[in-house]
Amino acid sequence: MIIPKCNRFSISGRSITPHLETFIIGQTSTQRAAPAVWLRPERSNLAHRETLEFHKAITFWYKQLSFFLSRALSVKTIFFFYFCVVFSFSHCCLANADNEHNSRLDKAAFLFNQGKLKNAIAEYRKLEQLMTVPKEPILNLALIYKNLRQYKKSILEYKKLLAIAPDKIVYANLGEVYYLNAMPDLAIDAFNTALKMGDKGEMLYFWLAKCYEDKGDWQNAVLHYKRALGINDEMVLSLQGLGNLYVQKKMWAQAETELKKIKKLDPSMLFVYPALALAYFSQAKYDLSLKAFRHIRAYDPQNKEAVKYIDKIYQLAGKDFKSKLLKKEKSRIADSHAKKLSSKVISGAPLVRVCIGRAKKLRFKCASDFHIYPVGKSSKVLFSGNADTLCKVCLNNGKLMLSLQQRIIKQLPLKIIIAPQSSILIFGIELGNGQYWANKIDRIYRGKIEIMPDKNGEFKIINIVNLEEYLYSVLPSEMPSSWPMDALKAQAVAARSEAYVKFGRHKKEGFDFCSGVHCQSYGGANVESKDSCSAVDTTQGEIAVYQGMPIDAVYSNSCGGHTQGNIFAKCDNIPYLQGKQDTVAKTGYSFPLAPFALEDWLWGNNLSINCDNREFSRQSNFRWTRLYKRKELEKLINKKLSVRGLIAINILERDKSSHIKSIEIVDINGRFIVKKELVIRRMLGNLRSSMFNIDVKLDKNGHAEEFLFYGGGWGHGVGMCQVGAATMAQKGYSYSDILKFYYTDIDLKKMY
Ligand SMILES: [Zn+2]
Ligand SMILES: [Zn+2]
């Protein structure tokens, strides 16, 4: 919620004319009390204001001149004329001073986003001299010094603000910097002052809990985490703090409760899986523990701890445990069947080849009778099978063997096609490699399956379907089918357009698309639904075009409030991929954001933003946090680099939207520059997005101890924001309106 500033405070203490509107963002954050920030009008307002000023001056002088000429000169009129000159001159001077302040503030924000923090500091210092009551530059300085981990300087700036006027939010921010600088007692005092002044935000209790944890006061830490959760029971940071304290104390049942809540609220927090698996193991819940450790192996195949624990579980769980599992697996396979699906022949729809996995063996059942033939020779049938028969193709010593009901019956050529008349059920397909949702499950596919040799003694499993049938599965894999129909239709057109442009991107590997997020998620026919198929059917063959050419209609779950300009193609400027605020209303934010506005943006909620909608998205998809111990973060970074004694992660450059373009990882031996949003996110533990900021907690010796990442959005943020699209559809916008909002100057075209 944005409240016109004139209803709340005066920025500078001097008189502000009514048209000089400024805004203050109230404490609307669900996560923590936002700093008291003062935002200037958006650029468009500024330009309008200057024009208005000029127009007013001209009108004023025209009126005075007419008055002067129409009357005879007298002492009274001369005096009046003199008064008017002085009034108008002082009025214009004030406007000019404001214009100068605003342009300097803009310049400082720009420099800050370019990573030129010293220059930004110099600009704010100049403003501090120029402004009568310089709250805005001082607040920005305090936050830049926090980013630079120059906490003593940051503390001085906050003290300057408190000397201007005591403010509970400034006390809360001061407490945070004291805490980061390993001064928990001073931090507790500052937080308690903020509490006395009426700040009841959950972040205040969270920081107090962290201070008590720092002092080794376990009971008070637990108490304050619980107080924070009493205000907001979905506060992941406090659940993490509480869960970790219970793990440290080996209170496994309590730890399990808190960790399960985190898993539900933000399943992308990878630390939760090993902790939960261990909590199950320690309570002898072996089946749950085994499932949890297997999941860890699925997203992190190199994880040796998980293998160790899986072995331990088999040893400790008793003789029957393994045989029970095998029995369960056998009955699952016997009871699973492929579904009969009506296949549509759509004239003009191209066939696509999707790699759905790699394996050494493939177990399958078809919903109808099927044939196997060599690639390229459909008339040469090698084998004809019956519906619902369990079959297996297996690569053994370079030979592809076919088994039926566990009996080898035939050797096959290395490249074959399995062609059912209806669908095929494939057992144990691995999906989401490296992602938290990685899993091995049974999946049904339309079309045909091609087997093609790959490296490491494995073969590729390629599903061949027409584009519309491919979209039947992409759509519900990428967007919940329960979302409004126009959002589903916009998603269908975007996915079809992206497929058109990226067709054959894996050609060298022998297929068109992979089944992961690199291309578009494709989970087979299991996930198909009536509504998503209907959205594909009603937009059949329709794509988005720019100047007649299909567009690369990229999309992501949540842009975090401002979509990012193109970051993918070699050419930076793709006219239809322009970053913009994800709203048709006004937010009061002016991009690029100044340090204080960025802080407020990343911690706050803003219901005028399309993707800030709990109906379609978890809180953690819009605003998220990650808290790492230094060693934990080093371990993540060291999957790619070799870092020792991590000191800092500095942000070198941001897009106008606040998404980060490059960072610098500093350790005791030097620095690494890391570029590109996906590389940055993966290196730092699969962060939700590249729109974030970092707080570094130091220990008593001034060494980095903990890193808190706080950010916004899920995914790259370029093109269509899916949650935003759902909100627009909910408000009554058509799929065409939605697509034209997210992709600039496009048209829709039917290809078949
Ligand atoms: Zn791909
Ligand atoms: Zn969005």
Return d(Cα 384, Cα 123) in angstroms, integer.
Answer: 78
Give the model's confidence band at 270: pLDDT under 50 very low, under 70 low, under 90 confident, else very high: confident
Tell me the average pLDDT across 293-307. Answer: 90
Contact predicate 235/262, CB 8 Å: no
- Ligand 2 midpoint to CA 622 (Å): 8
pLDDT above 60 (res 689): yes
CA–centroid distance, 494 to ligand 2, in Å, is 16
Confidence band for 68, pLDDT divided at 50, 70 and 90: low
Ligand in nearest proximity to the CA of 610: 2
Please, where in the chain does CATH 1.25.40.10 lie? 234-335
Q: Residue 30's pLDDT is what?
A: 34
At 302, is the pLDDT very low, low, confident or very high (cuts 50, 70, 90)?
confident
pLDDT of residue 690: 97
Banded model confidence at residue 606, pLDDT cuts 50, 70, 90: confident
Q: How far apart are CA 736 and CA 37, in angstroms?
A: 37
pLDDT, position 88: 57
User: With pLDDT > 90 as the criterion, what percentage of the chain qualifies?
Assistant: 72
- Ligand 2 center to residue 563 CA distance, Å? 6
Whole-number pLDDT of residue 18: 27
Please enumerate in sequence order all residues whose Cβ is within 8 A of that of 545, keeping only pairs 6 or more positions apart, or say none: 497, 551, 746, 747, 748, 749
pLDDT given at position 552 = 94
pLDDT bin (cut points 50, 70, 90) of residue 19 is very low
Q: How far is CA 465 from CA 15, 106, 342, 364, 525, in A?
A: 69, 52, 13, 18, 11
Query: 234-335: what CATH class?
Result: mainly alpha
Fold of 45-165: 1.25.40
Q: How confident is the model at residue 85 (pLDDT cuts 50, 70, 90)?
A: low
What is the three-class DSSP state of 150?
A: coil
The CA-to-CA distance between both ends of the chain, in Å, stands at 46
The answer to whether residue 44 scores a pLDDT higher than 80 is: no
Model pLDDT for residues 423-442, shown as the tens digit of each residue: 999 998 877 767 787 878 89
Ligand whose nearest atom lies closest to the CA of 587: 2
Q: How far is the CA of 717 from the centre of ligand 2 (A)?
A: 7
For residue 517, which ligand has an atom nearest its CA? 1
1-11 residue pLDDT tens: 332 222 222 22
What does the pLDDT average to over 19-39? 33
- Please write the tens of the pLDDT for every residue from 346-378: 889 999 999 999 999 999 999 999 999 999 998
pLDDT at 41: 33
Q: What is the rounded average pLDDT for all residues in the chain?
A: 87
Report the percentage of the chain scoring pLDDT > 70: 87
What protein residues have CB closer than 5 angstroms to ion ligand 2?
559, 582, 611, 721, 724
Strands (E), 605-687: 623-629, 648-654, 660-667, 670-675
Residue 484: closest CA among 724, 747, 719: 724
Tell me what the mean pLDDT of segment 558-562 comes to: 97
Q: Report how far apart, in Å, the C-alpha atoms of 468 and of each of 157, 345, 743 are.
A: 60, 10, 22
Inform me whether the pLDDT recorded for 405 exceeds 90: no
Q: Ligand 2 centre and the CA of 423: distance in Å?
A: 37
| Best CA proximity match to 201, nearest among 8, 3, 10, 26 | 26
Give 678 Cα–ligand 1 centroid separation in angstroms.
Answer: 14
Quote the CA–CA distance of 127 and 102 in Å, as a whole number. 10
The verdict on whether omega for the bond into residue 592 sits within 30 degrees of 0, i.e. cis, is yes
Rounded CA gap, 312 and 291, in Å? 14
Whether residue 325 contacts residue 479, with contact meaning beta carbons closer than 8 Å, is answered with no
| Higher local confidence (pLDDT), 499 or 436 | 499
Closest-approaching ligand to the CA atom of 519: 1
